[in-house]
Amino acid sequence: MRTIDWIDGAVVLVDQTRLPGEEVYLRLDTVAELVEAIQRLRVRGAPAIGVAGALGVALAAKQYADPAELAAAVHLLETARPTAVNLARGVRRVAALLPSFDAALGEALRIRDEEIASSKAMARLGADLVEKLCGADARLLTHCNTGGLATVVEGTALSVVFELYRRESLGGVIASETRPLLQGARLTTWELRRAGIAHRLAVDSAGPFLMARGEVDAVILGADRICANGDVVNKVGSYAHALGAKAAGIPFICVAPESTVDLSTPSGADVEIEDRGSAEVAGTTAPEGTEAINPAFDVTPAHLVTAIVTDERVFSGRADGAPAG
């Protein structure tokens, strides 16, 4: 199963807002439909929205002959969500080949295929690292959803979990719920169950305590943007897990493709953190009229990150290779 693909002249994706209850595939023929799908998180996860944006530009080339309309469609795709660098990067890479539809589609499919290849490389490098740092049978805690649903197949951090399972070297997995949209509770558990991997679910705030109690050997999660100085921008709650890992003396490992590394962003302070508004947090539980603050992502400073695994390298500290200081 591919989370997103180009089939018979349209973008086809699994609607992640309907999981785990229903597995529904949407066929999207217009840029407006695709932008809505990205903003509503029907498709989500940094590499997956990078592929969505790239395929969206091909869709735009098919839909619009007028250069001004085409440029407006590209702008809508590029700015649909601000934090994951993959989206704008995927859109720009394909838009450089406009107005040729054939060239745009060819490049978008290359981006899709690169992400598929990246997942395989990260699985191998990440599993080698976990075995090196924690030995066999590591008990891992992961946050948000970093599986095939967040990429095209297999995933980033979750691809490492799948690989350790294949190696019979996985001691356990705890999925952190991921308030408020519950990507961990709804999607990571769904993927682990499909793979036949035993797992448990924990509320986000239990993470640091479980680490302190010695029930976790390493935290492993993904990224939406890795900055030049090695700061990791990822789903809100990641920073709390990093503080917990530091206090417990266990590794905090980030797994993300090179397409998520953004050397043009100096540090996490330079990243626009998407705020998804009050309703997602206060909507069903708080008294009517309660205002919420809802940053969808946070920044884990580089000094709390034990290692970053990409499809090409494993490193700690700066992503750009410059001396720390």
Residues in touch with ligand MRU (CB under 6 A): 41, 44-47, 84, 144, 146, 150-151, 156, 183, 222-224, 234-235, 296
Annotated ligand binding at 294? The verdict is no
Q: Which residue is nearest to ligand MRU (CB)?
A: 222
| Residue 8 beta carbon to ligand MRU: minimum distance, rounded to whole angstroms | 27
Written as six digits, the tokens of 71 are 């440029």
Complete DSSP assignment for 123-178: HHHHHHHHHHHH-SSEEEEEES--BGGGSSSSBSHHHHHHHHHHTT-EEEEEEE--
Residues annotated as catalytic are 224
Q: Least distance in Å: CB of 100 to ligand MRU?
A: 30
183 is in an annotated binding site: yes
At 141, the amino acid letter reads L
Query: Taking the complex as a whole, how short is the minimal distance between the CB of residue 289 and ligand MRU, in angstroms?
Result: 26
For ligand MRU, the closer of residues 232 and 248 by Cβ is: 232
Any binding-site annotation on 62? no
Q: How many other β-carbons are positioned within 10 Å of the β-carbon of residue 284?
A: 8
Beta strands in the chain (DSSP E): 4-7, 10-14, 25-28, 138-143, 170-176, 200-202, 218-221, 225-227, 232-235, 252-255, 261-262, 297-300, 307-309, 314-315
42 a known binding residue?
no
Comparing CB distances to ligand MRU, the nearer of 105 and 146 is: 146
Known binder of ligand: residue 39? no
The answer for residues whose C-beta is within 8 angstroms of residue 162's C-beta and 6 or more apart is: 123, 147, 154, 155, 195, 197
Least distance to ligand MRU from the beta carbon of 295, Å? Answer: 11
CB of 151 or CB of 300, closer to ligand MRU: 151
- Identity of the residue, 183 or 229, whose beta carbon is nearer to ligand MRU in the bound complex: 183
* DSSP for residue 272: P
Known binding residues for substrate are 44-46, 81, 183, 234-235
Known binding residues are 44-46, 81, 183, 234-235
